[in-house]
Structure 1
Amino acid sequence: MTTGLTVLVPCYNEGPQVETAHGELVEALKEIGELEILFVDDGSTDDSLDRIRRLAETDPRVRYLSFTRNFGIDAVMAAGFRYAGQPWTVQCDADLQVPPGEIWALLDKAAEGYDVVFGERRGRRDPLVRRGGSAGLHWAARRVFGIDMPRGASTFRLVRTGLARTITELRLPWFIPAVPLVGARYAATPVAHRPRTAGRSKLRLARLTAHSFELFFGFSWRPLAAVYAAGVLGGALALVFAVLGYAGLAGGPVIAATQLLLTGLTVAAVALVGRYLHRLLRDTARPRTYYVKDANLPLLPEDTLTGGLPSPQPPARAVRQRG
């Protein structure tokens, strides 16, 4: 039985970092005979894809997929896990803030019988805002929304490839809380973390905020339960103040303030219910997560824009011979 490893490397405008990541990964994992380095180009607009192609020409361990546009990290994971050729897959960012040598820590921990091993970053070297935001997000998910978030979990993780495919096919908005949701055996192990030496993070505040909402509303029904409770409380308050107003025990300003409060709660409730409806409609429509425009491995027809059909030139007018 093969025990090889696929290293999934997401790329979006990484430029020279492509060769740097390849070199460090090959050096760190040279003891693994069945090694595959799978670059997934998320619609880069620089020369990242050209650099990956050149690596693939000289190193048969390099495989790649290139999207038709930027689809985001969720699409990268879905495609990467789907086309990974080895039974274990480790996700490793091209910025190499976690040194490739730390992959061995994940492998050693997985040997104890785990399906998923997360790298818990020691002395995380990201900006304070990023670290604080991440810690706050995980705290809110566990304490406020009741979501089972594995402690220490990060995007630097080792997963059984078959399990990763099962999770991504569920089309859930987050991978991390889906691991305990399906009953997988998981653990976290400490790994080193270093400052970014090239490029800059592709995640922006707006995207991080949207991603947080996907977590909260994708894995928890508590906000909807809170709306129900607020509705009952608001109805009771309205009834009480209506009686007090009729009896002349509450003046106009108090009643007006109460009406304004109830109106605000109503608007918030409608917005929250709309957010859940959006979630349900999105899951029902289930559009394609990504489309691949170029690869050096066999593609499934549904992952291409043309459905696997060739793209010949359109018919042209016949050239008439002059007599």
Structure 2
Amino acid sequence: MKTGLTVLVPCFNEGEQVEVAHRELVGALREIDELEILFVDDGSTDDSLDRIRRLARTDPRVRYLSFTRNFGIDAVMAAGFRYAGQPWTVQCDADLQVPPEEIWTLLAKAEEGYDVVFGERRGRRDPLVRRGGSAGLHWAARRVFGIDMPRGASTFRLVRTGVARTITDLRLPWFIPAVPLVGARYAVAPVTHRPRTAGRSRLRLARLAAHSFELFFGFSLRPLNAVYAAAVLGGALALALAVPAYAGAEAGHLVAATQLLLSGLSLAALALVGRYLHRLLRDTGRLRPYFVRDANLALRPEDTLTGGLPGPPPPGRTPGLAADESVPSRTGRE
């Protein structure tokens, strides 16, 4: 039975970190015979792709995909899991904040019969704002929105490749809560964490906030149910205030304040429903999550801009034909 491992390494403007990641991964996983290192270049504008190509020419274990532009981490995972050539895939960031040796920790836990093993970063070395934002996000997801989130799960994870493909094909906004949603067997294993050795994090607060909305509204109907409850309560309150107002009671200011409140609730409800509709339209849209410009492996036609057709250069002048020579028209008329 085939028991190899694909290491999925997302890259976006990683520069010299590409060689560092390759060297440490090969050193840590040298005992695995069927090893594949799959770099997915998310539209880098530096020399990341050139460095990956050089590695691929000297190491047959290196495979790569390069997107036509920056499509984001969800697209990287979708492509990486689709083209992974081994039955198990581990996702490992190029910054190596989790040492590659910890992959063995995940592999040992998977031997107990799990489909997915998440690494829980102990002694996390990220900035306080990043750690606090991540903890708050997971707390809100579980306690406020009722989303089943594996406690402590991170993007450093080992997955059965078939399970990963099933999840990414669902086009859900987050991978972590999708694992319990589909019923995959999962576990969380503690791993060490170290400071970034090169480059800088590209996940800013605005990006984290946007990603949070994707999580909350992509996996929970509680906000929509809260709007329904507010609408019922607001209607009851409006009715209760309308009775004394029509009876001539001095409730003018109260009625005006209530109207403002209900108007605000209506706007909030419209915005929330619009958010859900946006999510629905995006998931059912015709645009693919990514397009590949370059790769050293066989691509599916639908993943390329040309639909799998070859891309020859445009036609030039016919050799030996003078510029002033007449060319017969298609209609046969001069």
TM-score tier after normalising by the smaller chain length:
over 0.9
- Shift, 1:313, TM fit: 2.1
SS at structure 2 position matched to 1:172: coil
Are 2:211 and 1:214 aligned?
A: no
Distance 1:316 1:219 in 2: 54
What residue number does 2:108 align with? 108
- Shift, 1:83, TM fit: 0.4
Task: Flag structure 1 segments of 5+ consecutive residues without an equivalent.
Answer: none
What residue number does 2:229 align with? 229
What residue number does 1:9 align with? 9
Q: Deviations over 1:71-101 (max 9, x none)?
A: 0000000000000000000000000000000
Q: Deviations over 1:153-200 (max 9, x none)?
A: 100000000000000000000000000011100000000001112100
Change (3 A) 1:250 1:88: farther
What residue number does 2:288 align with? 288
Distance 1:248 1:203 in 2: 58
SS at structure 1 position matched to 2:113: coil
- Shift, 1:260, TM fit: 0.7
Distance 1:125 1:316 in 2: 58
Structure 2 letter corresponding to 1:31 = E
What residue number does 2:311 align with? 311
Distance 1:271 1:286 in 2: 24
SS at structure 1 position matched to 2:63: strand
TM-score (norm. length: structure 1): 0.98
Is the CA contact 1:241–1:250 (under 8 Å) kept in the aligned structure 2?
no
What residue number does 2:145 align with? 145
Structure 1 letter corresponding to 2:257 = A
Q: Which moved more, 1:281-290 or 1:38-47?
A: 281-290
- Shift, 1:250, TM fit: 4.1
Structure 1 letter corresponding to 2:273 = V
Distance 1:298 1:310 in 2: 13
Structure 1 letter corresponding to 2:168 = T
- Shift, 1:320, TM fit: 2.1
- Shift, 1:246, TM fit: 2.2
What residue number does 1:22 align with? 22
SS at structure 2 position matched to 1:285: coil
Distance 1:11 1:98 in 2: 16
Distance 1:249 1:31 in 2: 85
- Shift, 1:286, TM fit: 4.3
Q: Deviations over 1:120-152 (max 9, x none)?
A: 000111111111111111111111111111111
Is the CA contact 1:75–1:289 (under 8 Å) kept in the aligned structure 2?
yes
Trace 1:180-259 onto structure 2 (pairs within 5 A). 180-259=180-259
SS at structure 1 position matched to 2:224: helix
Q: Which moved more, 1:237-246 or 1:25-34?
A: 237-246
Trace 1:44-83 onto structure 2 (pairs within 5 A). 44-83=44-83
Q: Deviations over 1:6-43 (max 9, x none)?
A: 00000000001000000000000000010000000000
Distance 1:45 1:151 in 2: 35
Are 2:92 and 1:124 aligned?
A: no
Is the CA contact 1:301–1:308 (under 8 Å) kept in the aligned structure 2?
yes
Distance 1:314 1:119 in 2: 50
Distance 1:253 1:266 in 2: 20
Distance 1:277 1:291 in 2: 25
Distance 1:106 1:14 in 2: 25
When Rg is computed on C-alpha atoms for both structures, the one with the higher figure is 2
Change (3 A) 1:85 1:310: same
- Shift, 1:251, TM fit: 2.9
Is the CA contact 1:124–1:193 (under 8 Å) kept in the aligned structure 2?
yes
- Shift, 1:287, TM fit: 1.9
Distance 1:249 1:277 in 2: 42
Distance 1:257 1:222 in 2: 27
What residue number does 2:98 align with? 98
Q: Deviations over 1:244-278 (max 9, x none)?
A: 22234443222111111110000000110111111
Identity of aligned residues (%): 84
What residue number does 1:133 align with? 133
SS at structure 2 position matched to 1:173: coil
SS at structure 2 position matched to 1:95: coil
Distance 1:119 1:287 in 2: 32
Structure 1 letter corresponding to 2:65 = L
